Amino acid sequence: MGRLDGKVVLITGVASGIGLATARLFHQEGAVIFGVDRDAKAGMKLTQEFAAKRWTFHSADLTTEAACQSTIEQCHNTYGRIDVLYNNAGIASYAPFLEIEASALENVFAVNFMSVFYLCQQVIPKMLAQGEGRIINTTSELAIVAQPLYTAYCATKGAVMSFTRALALEYAQSNLQINMVCPGPIETPLLQTEFDAATDPKAAFDAGIATMPIGRYGQPEEVAKVTLFLASDAPQLMQGTAIVVDGAKTIL
């Protein structure tokens, strides 16, 4: 038996990186995956990979409350319950502070924080009605340590961390388990876009590795294994906990 046999898991940002690695691992463990991503083309390709009876892809831009409400309703209408919500979708924001425009700030907050807020707000009533549920929110090492040129991104991930803690406290006695995973630099398409934007992408890649105590970047599958623990075996005593997966980077 798999650790998630029959569990309905909604994963955002499912088409690549950590979200894709998590969907694959959870599916191997018996979960029914409701995958969400704004990249419809990439998402539909996954339908060929996953067993049709345990996979649904939903294309959505989760930057509005209406889209988040529709996403939760569609998942619930399809499967009758939502056992795990994994808020993984996110975008990077890299710019000098004085050059950050209001539209860019609003966009990164909409994707990285407001989508998490709205999806939690929509799914919690469903979980309360079914008597249990688990929510896993993705924050970042940059919610713990700061880094220049990432002010907007740091702010969004810090917001997710504080929000998750407050939410876990509010529902601590409701048989809901609400925790978070804090990845460090992980080799994903998102990280690669940052290197590609540099004057010398290879130099940027190597400079990043130099900051990693373990001498390499993390892999999406490593984060997925931690998320699996939070979705399945984590004891009820774990509430509002942030598990850091960063190769000791935040210790420096």
Cα–Cα dist 136/126, whole Å:
16
Cα–Cα dist 26/162, whole Å:
27
Q: Which two tokens stand for residue 139?
A: 């924050």
Q: At what angle do helices 102-109 and 151-170 cross, to 10 degrees?
A: 30
Is residue 153 flagged as an active site residue? yes
* Cβ-based neighbours of 47, under 8 Å, separated by 6 or more: 55, 57
Catalytic entry in 79, 86, 118, 153: 153
Residues designated catalytic: 153
